[in-house]
Structures are given as structure tokens and as C-alpha cells.
């Protein structure tokens, strides 16, 4: 396969890694800030006649009698809004990149992201924050386009390697982004003038870091990123891009079942991921800076699991590693669910128990996600690997739409985390049962 760029494959994959990593870091900077960011706008702008005032009134009518319950609900809605727009627009940007080239679409989406973070710096009112999430969600096509670029420069035998580069960049981005956001939140710009809805806010420093990263990423693509899709191949790249709605048309029943099990698992995981910063606020009165260390701990657990998974796969195979991960996750979800929802901030025993449960969930995820991707690849014919992996990623994107809003509504309704985490444990049962019923991939059986 010929690469339509003069740069060697390894360097192009390195640029893809850097582009995806910087994009995810910028996006995830806001994650540890959500409870305090939403509380700021509710308390400072929650009057009649404003967007958040209207939302607060609606939340109170639904039983949202505390600021905390409102922040949980609004955080879930904002996360779901972003994920829904990403789910809708990501295939659109991918299809446009098939026609216009990867580099051109990357520059457009990265410029849009930079604009959204620039607006966040000056978001004196809540509706501007919502606008930034709208723009960012609509421009969230970078991962799909970067994955397509990785596919452009790898042949079928190396396709998994190209997808792994994107996957590792996403994983590391979600480790470092929340850490940077949490630490940067303790620094504030001097208050400047507010003009209408625009002016500095307490979270302008993390926003500025995200904006600088997006701008640097844009310049990196403009200056160094080559076009990986040659003009003579663009006419043939006009096919419909795979989505989770194409799951029923996949020939391999093993691929269909694996993708559905992944969807179920990720609904549970993304629900936990969305509510974790609200739970730490409720249990331990955590600040964004405290949450930064929690995310670093979770990331370390996930990276450790991914390293260990290689050794476990040699002994157990990919399918049994996924099953092991789901069993660990089920136990960990129950463990966290049983932690009382009202604790003293200095309760070291409860904090140790909490970290153990969250660490095990992250460890389980580090086992599950790479092995699920490997299973889909192993169950697929060489001619269908790209399509089937695209459907798997689309299933994960749909889970990010369902998981956050479902978890937020449960937390909002019951006022505690118990049903969120017990629900996560219960979702492990059908996911585990589906994987248990799968055959071991033929390639593993023949190499064993």
C-alpha cells in the first residue's frame, strides 16, 4: 500500500498520536471542574430570566431541592449534550474527510475547538458555557478523522497497530487532561470587566490552557500534518461510514455480540465517570485539585492493567480477560455503592475503601477495552476489520450519550450514588453472559 505523503509511516503515526492526545487533553480539562463550575453559575446567576435560572426552576419542580442535586443533573445533561453532538457529527466529519482529505477537515475541527475554549475563557454567564459545549461537540470529529488517517497509512496487517496508536493517545489524554484541569483551577486571573455575558470567570485559567493546546494543535496540523488520502483514492472512499445502527448487518454474530457487550459495559463506566466528581464532593468535600490526584490514580491503575493484560492474554486469551475484567468491575461497583453517602471529610478508612473501589473499576476497564477491540478484530475477516472496528467505536460513542444522563437522573432522583453504582454492577451481568457465550477466536486456538 502506498502512502500519499513523503513522511515515513512511523512519523505520520506519531503526528496522529500527538494530535489526538492534545485534543483529548484539552477536552478533558473541564471534567474535574464540573461540580464547582456549575455551583458557581447556579449561585451567582440562578435568577429568573437566565438560562440556568430556568433550568434551576425546572429542577426544583422535579425534586431538586439542593444546589448539589442540581449540579449533578446539569452536569449529566451537559455531558450528554456534548456526547450526542459528537455521536451525530463525528461520522459527518469522517465522511467529509473521505471527500475533501483528512488534513483539511482536521484543521476545521481543531479551529472550532480553539474557538470554543476561547469563548469559555470569557464565559461570564452560563449560556456561554453551554454554547462552548455545543461548538466543541459539533467539532468533535477529530478522533474519527485521525483514525481514518491511521487507516490510510497502514495496510490490513498493520491496521490494529494504527488503531492502537489512536487508542493509547485517547487513554493518556484522559489521564493528563483532568490532572491539568484540577491543578490549574487553583490559579485565577485578576477579575476584569464584564461586558454583557462576557468576562473572566473563576475557571478562565483552565480554559486558557485548553485554548492554547487547541491552537498549538491547529498549528501542528497546518505546519506538519501531511495529507494521507491521495486525491485519486477519494472517489472510492465515498462509502457510507459504519455506525452502531449497522450492527444488525454485520455478518459475524461474534462481532455483533461483542459490540453489544461493549455498549452495555461502557454505559456503566461512563455513568460512573460522569458522577465521580460529584461523589467526591459529597463524600469528602473534594476540590478540583483533589480530583486531579484521583484521576491520576485512576489513570495509573488503567495503564497498569493494560500492561498486565498482555501477559494475561497469553495465558487466558482475549475472551477470558474480558470476562475477568467484568467480574472485577461488578465487585468494585458494588463495593463503591455500599459506601455511605454521608461521610466526614477526614474519614480515612472510607477514603481508602473508595480509592480501592475506583481503582478496581479503572483496572477492570484497562483489561476490558483493549481486549474487546482485539476480539472484534480477531472475529472479523480482513476485508471487514475497518468497518467492524468503526461500529465498535460507534457503540462506545452511543454509550457516552446514554450513560451520563442515566447516571445523573438516578443520582438526582435518589440523592445518593447507591443506585448509580449498583446499576453499574447489574449491567455487568448481561455483558458477562454475552462474552461467556462467545467462542474463542480461531487464531488464538491455532496458536495455543
Last residue in a domain, options 224, 241, 258? 241
Q: Domain with 183 in it: what CATH number?
A: 1.20.1250.20
Q: Does any domain span residue 56?
A: yes
Do 146 and 287 sit in the same domain of this protein? no
Q: What is the pLDDT of residue 348?
A: 66
Residue 446 belongs to a domain:
no
Domain shared by 432 and 406, yes or no: yes
Q: Are residues 100 and 41 in the same domain?
A: yes
Last residue of a domain, one of 186, 216, 241: 241
Closest CA to 87 of 265, 238, 234, 270: 270
Per-residue three-class SS string for 102-130: HHHHHHHHHHHHHHHHHHHHCECCHHHHH
What pLDDT was estimated at residue 347? 62
| HSE of 107, CA atoms in CB hemisphere, 13 A | 13
Does one domain contain both 213 and 331? Answer: no
Give me the pLDDT at residue 310, please: 80
- 91 with 243: CB under 8 angstroms? yes
Range of the domain at 84: 7-241
Do residues 210 and 117 make contact, with C-beta atoms less than 8 angstroms apart? yes
Considering the domain boundaries, does residue 443 fall inside one? no
Task: Tell me, yes or no, whether 199 and 314 share the same domain.
Answer: no
Which pTM value belongs to this model? 0.86
Domain boundary among 207, 241, 275: 241
Strand, coil or helix: what is 48? Answer: coil
Residue 26 in domain: yes
Residue 448 lies in a domain: no
Q: Which three cell numbers stand for residue 7?
A: 513522511
Residues in the chain: 448
Residue 331 lies in a domain: yes
Q: 434 with 413, same domain?
A: yes
Are 283 and 177 members of one domain? Answer: no
Residues 279 and 225 in one domain: no
Q: Look up residue 396 and give its DSSP letter.
A: H
294 & 398 share domain: yes
**How far apart, in Å, are the Cα atoms of 342 and each of 68, 260, 350, 356, 418?**
13, 36, 10, 18, 12
Number of structural domains the chain divides into: 2
**Same domain, residue pair 271 and 233:** no
- Tell how far CA 54 is from the center of its chain: 29
Find the radius of gyration of the CA atoms of the chain: 22
- Helix, strand, coil shares, percent, the chain, to 5: 80, 0, 20
- 406: nearest Cα among 314, 270, 247, 245: 270
What are the cell numbers at 336?
463503591
User: Could you report the average pLDDT of every consecutive run of 10 residues in the chain (448 residues)?
Assistant: 56 88 90 91 80 86 85 91 88 82 90 94 92 90 80 69 76 89 86 76 93 94 86 61 74 88 94 92 90 91 86 87 95 93 65 92 90 84 72 86 94 91 96 92 56
Residue with cell 484521576: 295
For residue 447, the model assigns a pLDDT of 45
Domain membership of residue 123 (yes or no) is: yes
Question: Is the domain of 233 the same as that of 265?
Answer: no
- 383 and 349 in one domain? yes
CA angle 430, 436, 440 (to 5 degrees): 145
In a domain, 444, yes or no: no
Residue whose C-alpha is closest to residue 122's, from 211, 7, 23? 211
Amino acid at each position: 500500500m502506498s502512502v500519499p505523503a513523503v513522511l515515513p509511516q512511523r512519523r505520520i503515526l506519531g503526528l496522529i498520536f500527538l494530535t489526538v492526545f492534545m485534543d483529548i487533553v484539552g477536552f478533558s480539562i473541564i471534567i474535574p471542574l464540573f461540580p464547582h463550575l456549575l455551583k458557581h453559575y447556579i449561585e451567582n446567576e440562578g435568577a429568573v430570566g437566565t438560562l440556568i435560572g430556568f433550568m434551576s426552576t425546572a429542577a426544583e419542580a422535579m425534586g431538586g431541592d439542593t444546589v448539589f442535586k442540581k449540579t449533578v443533573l446539569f452536569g449529566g445533561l451537559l455531558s450528554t449534550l456534548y456526547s450526542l453532538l459528537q455521536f451525530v457529527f463525528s461520522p459527518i466529519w469522517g465522511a467529509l474527510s473521505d471527500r475533501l482529505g483528512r488534513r483539511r477537515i482536521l484543521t476545521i475541527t481543531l479551529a472550532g475547538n480553539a474557538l470554543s475554549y476561547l469563548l469559555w475563557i470569557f464565559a461570564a454567564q452560563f449560556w456561554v458555557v453551554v454554547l462552548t459545549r455545543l461548538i466543541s461537540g459539533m467539532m468533535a470529529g477529530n478522533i474519527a478523522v485521525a483514525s481514518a488517517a491511521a487507516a490510510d497509512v497502514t495496510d490490513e496487517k498493520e491496521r490494529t497497530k494504527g488503531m492502537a496508536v489512536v487508542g493509547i493517545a485517547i487513554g493518556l489524554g484522559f489521564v493528563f487532561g483532568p490532572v491539568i484541569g484540577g491543578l490549574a483551577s487553583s490559579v485565577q486571573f485578576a477579575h476584569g470587566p464584564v461586558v454583557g455575558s462576557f468576562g473572566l470567570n473563576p475557571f478562565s485559567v483552565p480554559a486558557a490552557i485548553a485554548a492554547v493546546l487547541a491552537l498549538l494543535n491547529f498549528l501542528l496540523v497546518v505546519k506538519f500534518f501531511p495529507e494521507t488520502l491521495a486525491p485519486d483514492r477519494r472517489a472510492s472512499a465515498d462509502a457510507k461510514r459504519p455506525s452502531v445502527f449497522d450492527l444488525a448487518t454485520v455478518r459475524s454474530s461474534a462481532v455483533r455480540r461483542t459490540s453489544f457487550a461493549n455498549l452495555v459495559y461502557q454505559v456503566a463506566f461512563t455513568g460512573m465517570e460522569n458522577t465521580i466528581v460529584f461523589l467526591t464532593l459529597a463524600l469528602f468535600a473534594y476540590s478540583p485539585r483533589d480530583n486531579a490526584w484521583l484521576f491520576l490514580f485512576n489513570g495509573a491503575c488503567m495503564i497498569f492493567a493494560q500492561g498486565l493484560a498482555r501477559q494475561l492474554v497469553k495465558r487466558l486469551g482475549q475472551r477470558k480477560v474480558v470476562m475477568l475484567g467484568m467480574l472485577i468491575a461488578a465487585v468494585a461497583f458494588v463495593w463503591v455503592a455500599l459506601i455511605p453517602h454521608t461521610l466526614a471529610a477526614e474519614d480515612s478508612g472510607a477514603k481508602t475503601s473508595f480509592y480501592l473501589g475506583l481503582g478496581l473499576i479503572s483496572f477492570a476497564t484497562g483489561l476490558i477495552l483493549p481486549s474487546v477491540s482485539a476480539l472484534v478484530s480477531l472475529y472479523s475477516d480482513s476485508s471487514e476489520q475497518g468497518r467492524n472496528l468503526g461500529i465498535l467505536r460507534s457503540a462506545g460513542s452511543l454509550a457516552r450519550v446514554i450513560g451520563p444522563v442515566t447516571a445523573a437522573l438516578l443520582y438526582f432522583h435518589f440523592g445518593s450514588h447507591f443506585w448509580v453504582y449498583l446499576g453499574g454492577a447489574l449491567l455487568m451481568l448481561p455483558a458477562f453472559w454475552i462474552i461467556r457465550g462467545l467462542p474463542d477466536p480461531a487464531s488464538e486456538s491455532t496458536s495455543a
